[in-house]
Amino acid sequence: MHLPDRGDAKAAPMMPGIRLAPEREAMVPVEGGHIYVRINGDLDNGRPPIVMAHGGPGSSHWYFLNATTLADDRAVILYDQLDSGRSDNPNDPAHWRVERFVDELEAIRAHLGIARWHMLGTSWGGTIALEYGARRPEGLAGLILQSPLVSTEIWLRDANRLKDAMPPAIRDLLYRCDVPGAADEAECAAATEAFYRRHIQLYDPAPEIAAYRAALPRSFNATIYNHMWGRAEFTASGTLADYDGRPLLGRLNGSRTLFVTGEADEALPETVASFARAAGADFAIVPDAAHFAMNDNPAAYLAILRPWLLKQDA
């Protein structure tokens, strides 16, 4: 999803030492085309790099930019999935399969010649992380699932809880908007944004990050989002409508897995904590943050990630 910046909104912080420009770029061949990859930091400094998978489906890597401050410790690899961001845009639904998106990770690892790395996925990227981790690849040093889509059934259950907690007029409108033609389109957009401002993104990105996002060919691809998910975060009508990755939780290497969510996240902390327990994994909450935790409170998020990654390096 993509929220327009508001002129009266507080801007999110930008981390000191952020690296807005990549130090290395590549277009990596995958099924269907090539995907854009950018690297900051030294891939050969002895510490496993970290690769980050964005959400959506159809978003892009821009909201991970604050994480490039980790490049002081290890290389940071950001990429756009096929049909997103700077990647090729064949716009063919035949490519919009979970397993093909997971395969992109191994394509990146092989192209860059990486023996061992950490992987972080957020939201739909958390689904990719779950599926990737369940394969138990030998080169996976640590796995972070931030606000992951693990079960669409549970996601929608929690979304209804959050909708029910909205002011009554907005709550009623959000439910009507799920019925085609039952509500005014502009009113539905305003109600949806009100929900998003409470549970998706608390703060607008810093101006420099917003400018970076604006320069992307596609910061958000609504076509793939609608095809795979639906019209909004709380409405699943696409190919992921029946997704259930709960059986995969037991296949993860729990001692090397961390679940994270934002304090105000649409991925409810108690739900994400239950996934962590099922996987025997660690769990953490990013305070003063919603779904875009790396945008809303990067300092707190990175304070969780840095020591955890160092522990897994061994």
Task: Show which residues are catalytic.
Answer: 123, 265, 291
Residue 223: Cβ-neighbour burial (10 angstroms; 0-12, 13-18, 19+): middle
CB-based contacts of 171, cutoff 8 Å, min separation 6: 163, 164, 165
Q: Are 242 and 152 in contact (CB under 8 A)?
A: yes
Indicate the pairing of strand 76-79 with strand 117-122.
unpaired
Quick one: angle between helices 185-199 and 152-164, nearest 10? 100
**What are the phi and psi torsion angles at 83 (to 5°)?**
75, 15
Which residues on neighbouring strands pair with residue 186, listed in sequence order? none
Give the Å distances, CA to CA, from 66 to 148, 199, 233: 20, 20, 24
Rounded Cα gap, residues 33 and 189, in angstroms: 33
**Pick from 272, 309, 275, 310: which is nearest to 291 by CA?**
272
